[in-house]
Amino acid sequence: MKRRRARRRSRSARSPIVALLLASAVVVVAIALILRGDTRSRARHAAASHHVAGNVATASTAAAASLPPSTLHTSPPPLAEPSEAPEASPQPIATAAPSPGAPRLAIIIDDCGQWLDTEHGFIALPAALTLSVLPHVRYATQIAHDADAAGKGVMLHLPMEPLSGADPGPGRITVAMNDDAITAQVRDDLASVPLAAGVNNHEGSRATADDRVMRAVASVLAERHLFFIDSRTGTASVAERDTVAAGIPTAGRDVFLDNVADVDATEAQLRRAAQLAKSHGSAIAIGHPRPTTLIAVRTLLPELERDGIQLVLARDLVH
């Protein structure tokens, strides 16, 4: 009897301890479950975030891949963008009246409509310049309006078939096209470069050597009262002869400024163009929207002014 009472007292004494241990165990298990659930939730959230980011990246890549070829030109881009930012909103330039008999030099910047920073750098220069804009490239309309607003000249840089067989880009004129196709393409190219007062050829050593092709091109220029400048990319060009015959104001390129993308080389070519202007009364130089060309032109502006060279728009030198 005494033993049974002792066992009951022993069980009674252990009951609170057991209850406490059980309660502690329940708490520990509950905390573990909560932490496990939170970990899984975070894992699910991270996975979802990664999935969304992946979808955005995929969508961006797909969007870039779906851009039409006409938004980019096949020519190699400039070596680098200029280190200093151009003026955001260039103001119209105030050009002095040309001195009687002063040698005149027109600088044309070809291939525009693709590299806005460099092209705006040319627009910001305090001198008369002409930008020749490729048709159907990403910034054709914008750069044409920006150049015109700043008092610069605007031309269509008409892609034409070269002897090399290289693709001159969207809006091209080829010798395989019939007359109707050529005139329709020239009109379409002009529509993509608003405010163009004239045209010069991009590439075109084969097309400009073809009388039929050039007569078809000239018919559109005549109906629009536009001028033409032969870039003279081939020695057999008949472009000037055919445009003059069509009654179109015409001129030809004298110097390429930047066949070598180097500041010193471009400066040397610009001095050569200035010397030709002195010798013949006028000259036309063609460059491209390269940072090296921008630096060279900007650097030589004071020198050209000291030498009495009058910078003019391309339209001022056609006849």
Q: End of a domain among 67, 93, 122?
A: 67
Distance CA 242, CA 17 (A): 112
Q: Residue 149, exposed/middle/buried by CB under 10 A (0-12, 13-18, 19+)?
A: middle
- Alpha-helical (H) ranges within 66-106 are none
Residue 167 and residue 61 share a domain? no
Q: Range of 272's domain?
A: 102-317
**Residue 297 belongs to a domain:** yes
Higher pLDDT, 55 or 5: 5
**Residue 255 belongs to a domain:** yes
Residue 263 and residue 212 share a domain? yes
Q: Which of 244, 243, 157 is nearest to 192 (CA)?
A: 157
**Adjacent-strand bridge partners of 133:** 112, 156
Number of domains making up the chain: 2
Residue 183 and residue 40 share a domain? no
Q: End of a domain among 24, 49, 67?
A: 67
Q: The domain that contains 260 carries what CATH number?
A: 3.20.20.370
**Residue 164 belongs to a domain:** yes
Residue 299 and residue 184 share a domain? yes
Residue 127 and residue 52 share a domain? no
- Alpha-helical (H) ranges within the chain are 2-65, 116-123, 140-149, 179-191, 211-224, 239-245, 263-280, 291-306
User: What are the tens digits of pLDDT across the range 7-35?
Assistant: 444 444 445 554 555 555 544 444 444 44
**Residue 248 belongs to a domain:** yes
**Residue 88 belongs to a domain:** no
Q: End of a domain among 21, 50, 67?
A: 67
Residue 136 and residue 272 share a domain? yes
User: What are the tens digits of pLDDT across the range 173-210?
Assistant: 999 999 999 999 999 999 999 899 999 999 999 999 99
Q: Which stretch of DSSP H or E encloses residue 107?
A: strand 104-112
- What would the two tokens of residue 37 be? 């659930």
pLDDT confidence of 261, banded at 50, 70, 90? very high
Average pLDDT rounded to a whole number, residues 55-74? 34
Residue 205 and residue 60 share a domain? no
Residue 153 and residue 219 share a domain? yes
Residue 220 and residue 109 share a domain? yes
**Residue 298 belongs to a domain:** yes
- For 75-105, b/e burial (b = at least 16 CB within 10 A) is beebeebbeeebeeebeebeeeeeeeebbbb
Amino acid at 191: A
- Asked whether 98 and 313 are in contact (CB, 8 A), the reply is no
Residue 131 and residue 44 share a domain? no
Percent of the chain residues past pLDDT 70, beyond the cut: 69
**Residue 116 belongs to a domain:** yes
**Residue 125 belongs to a domain:** yes
Residue 233 and residue 136 share a domain? yes
Residue 134 and residue 52 share a domain? no
